[in-house]
Structure 1
Amino acid sequence: MAQHFLRRLAAEFPSPSFNQEFFLLPLNDFIALCAKEKPEPVCCYILIAVHSKATGQINIDERQLDLQPRSVFLVAYHQIFSFSREAVAEGSVLVFTRSFYNLIYTGNRRIRHDTAFAGLPPFVKPEKKQFSQFRQTILNINEEYHNAAQASKEIICLELKVLVLRYMRSTGDTRFSELRTDHKQSYVEEFRHLIDKHFRELKRTSDYAEKMGLSPNYLNALVREKTDMTAERLIRHRVILEAQRLLLNTDYSAAEIGFELGFSDKSHFGRYFKRITGESPNSFRQNFPAGEVVKDDETSS
């Protein structure tokens, strides 16, 4: 299939913003497309998440695997794959190039570049809770993919690395045990990432807990254990930090800043800001010392 496969994907499912480096599409559409192609080594990575109603098989390098609900398949560079004629499955497919995955460099040696895929099995069947989290990450990617907003590529790249970590975790392989030594911390890091992404529209712990497949009480307990702060305080902290930066670095009125941060009216934002910082937005803007910089740890509880 090689480069021809990516060109065919681009023709069938155009997404100009991603320059044939990333695609996200329904699994049944992907199966139908592959039925028209002669199996050849691919020049991309393909993650296939089967959600439900699956029949048939996928063949990856001559290994025949049954399509099953709540399962995930990985096709790596230069592998050959195909679906059986009777294959039907509801799910999602992510197709991405090496250069797209390497767009963002991270410090974690396991996932910093595409060598993360080396040695991974072609199939995992996560536990129900793990698959729910896997699926939620795909939904996050889907939102960015169709919005194509500023920094969408970078956000999707980071979310792909989250998927790789989830895939590794689901293997149960002891080689990846260090990734599981502090799963509580990984939840907190995911929570912080979600806050950075959604703090303008989501301001309740329960909203984030739902995205992570956790109960609000458990999420709050994890955050308290790892940060000595409540989950709600972390959310408030991020909202106020952004408000302070906007107050000091733009000419927006308090009402405009409140709207930017998802508040329905000026008075609601003003009360929120004063309850947390002890002063009104305008007072903060007038009294903040010139030349100083708002830091992440300056917001009070």
Structure 2
Amino acid sequence: MVKKRHIRVGRLLDVPFSAPVGTPTGVEVLRLSELRNRVSGDVLSTPQRPDFHHLLTLTEGSLRQTVDFATYILEPRSWLWIRPGQVNQWGDLAHVDGSLVLFQQGFLSPATVAGARIDDPHAPVLHHPSPGDVAALRLATDHLTEEFDAFGRLPIEIHTATLRHLLSVLVLRLACLPTPAGAPVAEISPTFMIFRDAVEAHFTHTRRVEDYARELGYSPRTLSRATLAGAGLGAKDYIDRRVVLEAKRLLAHSEQTATRIADHLGFASATHFSKYFHQRTGQTPITFRNAIRGHTEP
């Protein structure tokens, strides 16, 4: 976030990654106190849709963070992983400190990307490590921070390779954290995973379960059973939830009109889109946009 080029879209921010001058491209490590001192609170609290990853953990205080319109409470030793494309709103950083790791897609090796499921848009946002995992993650973060701060002591290509390896350790450990004891475990079947990926690829083209069933070779009932077991809701509701999420992202983060958003999401008209959105959120698109831009609860 620090030393990035912020491109304003109305009151909103599109945030591309730009490494600090004199450091390797693709990764940045900083303390939240640095972020607080360099970027104003009104900029941080503005909805942003960065095109790079955020790994955030606290050493003191408590932070209320909003990611894709869901609120997460970050406490010391827990971790927040915000992925490219998600809409992020920072909470109040006045009384917190911790570490923030920013890294660009393409910085890590393909093996790490696959092993840590870095490209998975459905991966959890908040992580609560066990005491043993907390120590390992802290050690990985400290090593990464020390290496980032040691720029100039090694040739740039060696320094960059070392950062890549140290960051790989951190993301692999985060991605492989066990499910907390007592937490419900969803039944992620191959059928659900195939359907989930199909929805991610085609939700702007069709919202009909029958279309996905025909394309994937399953019955609509089979898809609904698999989705209920894997996500806790039926196949149609799952599709609608993804469409609404994208609509919220565009309403919060862009200046596109309802007509353009409706067209992008495959609706016949802005009227159809507005009715669909209102039925599923209890708000019109304009009411939602105004609430987000006024920094109130949607």
TM-score (norm 1): 0.48
Task: Kindly indicate whether structure 1 or structure 2 has the higher relative contact order, using CA contacts under 8 Å at least 6 residues apart.
Answer: 2
Higher helix share: 1
TM-score (norm 2): 0.49
